[in-house]
């Protein structure tokens, strides 16, 4: 495709070859954390229709376009390369122990609701109960449990892995969890949960461990680039929100 003519250029010095709508779609993907086709049908269709062009473009940034047609979720994930300067421009901080445990349990909930026609929801009380189940042996600090519940929900909200509802302290579990967690089958998840329970701190990425080794701590989704770099502002979260999560 040729470079844009002066009439097609979007700004002075523009040498890009994509029209405005396609560039906007790419920016939305780069800002992340994902595009939900159930809430933005036009953007979703544009991404699906121009999949080949978008994939070619983001490959230049060592990113891969992933599309789940059934759940209508599209996102960018970093590729695995053993070379310098190929990681995301602004790597995101890993999920903490409780954040990971909550996300894994919600992923199981999402699977149980598949085909029901209803959206799985979790209340703050339900999230607290989950984290209470996985408290470290000898831990009895209820105030700390409350703090961890709020911070874990805030983190998953910022990542848009849970979404607010009209009810206070109730959240919808996002379908994005199904592709954010790199499991071939949900049957693998209980072993990872058990592995995490044996630790008292952060852990290794999911794709670097087995259930019998050090447990996981972050999603591929959590490794995408940020709005300022190339995924936090309406993004996977804003840079400020990430620091406060």
> Full-prediction pTM beyond 0.75?
no
- Residue 184 pLDDT > 70, yes or no? no
In Å, what is the CA distance from 205 to each residue of 128, 180, 231? 24, 12, 18
Architecture of domain 97-217: Orthogonal Bundle (1.10)
Mean pLDDT, residues 28-56 taken together = 92
Delimit the domains of the chain by residue range: 1-91, 97-217
Between CA 131 and CA 68 the distance in angstroms is 29
Fold of 1-91: 3.90.1150
**pLDDT, tens digit, for every residue of 194-241?**
887 776 655 434 333 333 333 334 444 443 332 222 223 333 333 323
User: Nearest-CA neighbor of 21 among 53, 2, 52, 43?
Assistant: 43
**Does the structure show a pLDDT above 80 at 159?**
yes
Rounded CA-CA distance 41/35 in Å is 10
Dihedral of the alpha carbons of 29, 31, 34, 35, in degrees to the nearest 10: -60
* Closest C-alpha to 29, from 71, 59, 70: 59
Q: Under 8 Å CB-to-CB from 68, ≥6 apart: which residues?
A: 74, 175, 178, 179
pLDDT of residue 84: 84
Q: What is the pLDDT of residues 86-103, one digit of tens each?
A: 876 655 667 888 998 899
């Amino acid at each position: 495709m040729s470079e844009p003519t002066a009439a097609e250029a979007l700004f002075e010095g523009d040498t890009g070859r994509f029209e405005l709508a396609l560039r906007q779609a790419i920016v939305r993907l780069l800002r992340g954390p994902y595009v939900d086709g159930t809430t933005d049908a036009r953007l979703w269709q544009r991404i699906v229709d121009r999949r080949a062009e978008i994939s070619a473009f983001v490959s230049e940034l060592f990113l891969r376009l992933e599309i789940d047609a059934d759940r209508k979720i599209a996102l960018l994930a970093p590729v695995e390369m053993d070379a310098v300067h190929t990681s995301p421009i602004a790597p995101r901080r890993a999920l903490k122990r409780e954040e990971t445990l909550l996300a894994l349990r919600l992923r199981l909930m999402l699977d149980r609701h598949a085909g029901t026609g209803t959206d799985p929801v979790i209340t703050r009380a339900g999230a607290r109960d989950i984290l209470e189940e996985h408290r470290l042996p000898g831990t009895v600090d209820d105030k700390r449990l409350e703090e961890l519940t709020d911070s874990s929900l805030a983190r998953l909200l910022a990542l848009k892995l849970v979404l607010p509802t009209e009810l206070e302290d109730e959240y919808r579990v996002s379908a994005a969890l199904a592709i954010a967690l790199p499991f071939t089958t949900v049957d693998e998840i209980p072993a990872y949960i058990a592995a995490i329970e044996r630790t008292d701190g952060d852990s290794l990425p999911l794709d670097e461990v087995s259930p019998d080794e050090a447990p996981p701590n972050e999603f591929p989704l959590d490794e995408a680039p940020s709005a300022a770099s190339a995924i936090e502002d309406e993004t996977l979260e804003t840079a400020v929100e990430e620091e406060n999560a």
